[in-house]
Amino acid sequence: MYLVQFLFLAAFLFCVGMYGVLARRNAVLVLMSIELILNSVNINLVALGAWRGFDELVTAQIFALFVIAIAAAEVGVGLAIVLLIYRNRASVDLNEVAEMKG
């Protein structure tokens, strides 16, 4: 069972996603990076589930399906927000969107 390889892949994807979220200015890219993070978690879930045996695999897959569904919803909302920001400002630079400053 190639457990370690899968975990490495997941960790790599997570780090790439994290970098994207923290460093990129473009809101669309940040959203995509979040997808990477979520999918790295999915890989972790399924890999560890398969490693533990059949029952856990089913649980893990259902869990992963949930994550995928929620990620889809999140992207839907996120892109809608980005689109509106773009219409109002003609820019999707996250640094410019800081109206919530306390």
Partner 1 sequence: MLANAWVIPAITFVSFWLILFFGKRLPYKGAEIGVTALALAFFLSLATAGAWVSRPADFEVEPPVKTGESNVHEEEHAIAAAVESEEHAPNGHDAPAPSGEDHGAEEHHEPIREAVQREVTWFENGQVTIKAGIHIDGLAVSLLVVVSLISLLVHVFSTSYMHGDERFTHYFAALSLFTTGMFVLVTASNTLQALFGWELMGLCSFMLIGHWWEDSKNSNAALKAFFTTRTGDVGLLVGISILFFAAGETFDIATTNHAALAGDIPKGVLLGAAAALLVAVIGKSAQFPLHTWLPDAMAGPTPVSALIHAATMVVAGVYLVARLYGVFWQAFDIEAGGYNPVAMTGGVTLLIAAALAFVQRDIKKVLAYSTVSQLGYMVMALGVGAWTAGIFHLFTHAFFKACLFLGAGSVSHSGSHHSFDMVDDMGGLRKYMPWTYRTFLVATIALAGIFPFAGFWSKDEILLGAGENGYVAFMIVGLVGAFMTAAYMFRCVYLTFFGEPRGAAAHHHPHESPPSIVVPLQILGVLSIVAGLLNAPGIEKFSEWTSNATVLGAGVEHHEFSIAAALLSLAIASGGIATAYAYYWRGVRVGAAKYDRGPTGVVYRFLGNKYYLDHLYEGVIVRGIREPIARGAYWFNQKIIDGVVNGAGIAARGLARFVYEVLDQRVVDGVVNGTGLASEGAGAGLRTMQTGKVQQYAALMLVGTLAFAGLLWAFV
Residues at the contact surface with partner 1, assessed by CB under 8 A: 18, 21-23, 30, 94-95, 97-102
Calpha distance 55→44 (Å, rounded): 16
Residue 68, token pair as written in the block: 């995928």
Q: Is residue 96 a contact partner of residue 86, using CB atoms and an 8 Å limit?
A: no
What's the closest the beta carbon of residue 3 comes to partner 1, in angstroms? Answer: 20
What's the closest the beta carbon of residue 22 comes to partner 1, in angstroms? Answer: 6
What's the closest the beta carbon of residue 100 comes to partner 1, in angstroms? Answer: 4
Q: What distance separates the 2 farthest-apart alpha carbons in the chain? A: 52
Please identify, using beta-carbon distances, which residue of 76 and 96 lies nearer to partner 1.
96
